[in-house]
């Protein structure tokens, strides 16, 4: 699958929403200029104590970043880049911050929640699925972050982007 088609698929999934999943996120799609700071937010399902952040670059599977139990980080093994940070306030809302965005930060960022904290896996922290996990099942919460080199560079979706 070529990169343009994969980006189109990711964009279509972003537009599809997460019908009834109960996890809320904002913004759904973010295009930023190289060097800017980015904040992504996640509101988990009410009562869920486990919260997980992942990122998925083009052509790769989801990569674990960090997990929380209530507001305490449990596993930060995926936060190897010091420009990335995450926090969770009082066991609810969580933010993922990227300082001085770079081209390599372009990815789909995913957030998921669970009733309890379980160890992360190469997939998302869901109960073991009866069938193999597919892209639509990964869709509870995600962002597509595109980082552009110049103020008028074309996005991968073919739209002219302008920054003031």
The answer to whether residue 156 sits within a structural domain is: no
pLDDT, mean of residues 3-21: 36
> Does the N-terminal peptide bond of residue 95 adopt cis geometry, omega within 30 degrees of 0?
no
pTM attached to this predicted model: 0.64
CATH number of the domain to which 142 belongs: 2.60.40.10
Do 14 and 25 meet the contact criterion of CB atoms below 8 Å apart?
no
Token pair, residue 135, equals 């892209």
Token pair, residue 79, equals 């936060």
Q: How wide is the angle at C-alpha 72 spanned by C-alphas 20 and 118, nearest 5°?
A: 60
CA distance 41 to 96: 6
The answer to whether residue 44 sits within a structural domain is: yes
The answer to whether residue 40 sits within a structural domain is: yes
The answer to whether residue 129 sits within a structural domain is: no
Among residues 77, 98, 96, 80, the alpha carbon closest in space to that of 88 is found at 96
DSSP, collapsed to helix, strand or coil, labels residue 86 as strand
The answer to whether residue 163 sits within a structural domain is: no
Q: How confident is the model at residue 11 (pLDDT cuts 50, 70, 90)?
A: very low
Among residues 23, 77, 26, the alpha carbon closest in space to that of 50 is found at 23
Query: Per residue in 87-146, pLDDT tens?
Result: 998 768 999 999 999 999 999 999 999 987 555 444 444 433 333 333 333 333 445 566
HEC sequence for 24-46:
EEECCEEEEECCCCEEEEEECCC
CA distance 110 to 161: 24
The answer to whether residue 157 sits within a structural domain is: no
Query: Per residue in 46-86, pLDDT tens?
Result: 889 999 999 999 899 999 999 999 999 999 999 999 999 99
The answer to whether residue 107 sits within a structural domain is: yes
Structural domain span for residue 103: 3-118+136-148
The answer to whether residue 36 sits within a structural domain is: yes
Domain count, the chain: 1
């Amino acid at each position: 699958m070529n990169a343009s088609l994969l980006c189109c698929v990711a964009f279509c999934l972003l537009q599809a929403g997460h019908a009834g999943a109960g996890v809320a996120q904002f913004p759904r799609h973010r295009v930023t200029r190289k060097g800017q700071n980015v904040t992504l937010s996640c509101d988990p399902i009410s009562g869920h104590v486990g919260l997980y952040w992942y990122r998925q670059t083009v052509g790769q599977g989801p990569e674990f970043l960090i997990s929380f139990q209530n507001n305490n980080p449990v596993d930060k093994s995926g936060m190897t880049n010091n420009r990335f940070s995450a926090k969770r306030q009082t066991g609810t809302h969580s933010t993922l911050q990227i300082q001085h965005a770079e081209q390599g930060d372009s990815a789909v960022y995913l957030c998921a929640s669970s009733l309890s904290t379980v160890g992360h896996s190469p997939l998302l922290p869901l109960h073991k699925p009866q069938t193999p996990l597919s892209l639509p099942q990964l869709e509870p919460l995600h962002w597509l972050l595109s980082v552009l080199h110049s103020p008028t560079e074309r996005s991968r979706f073919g739209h002219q982007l302008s920054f003031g």
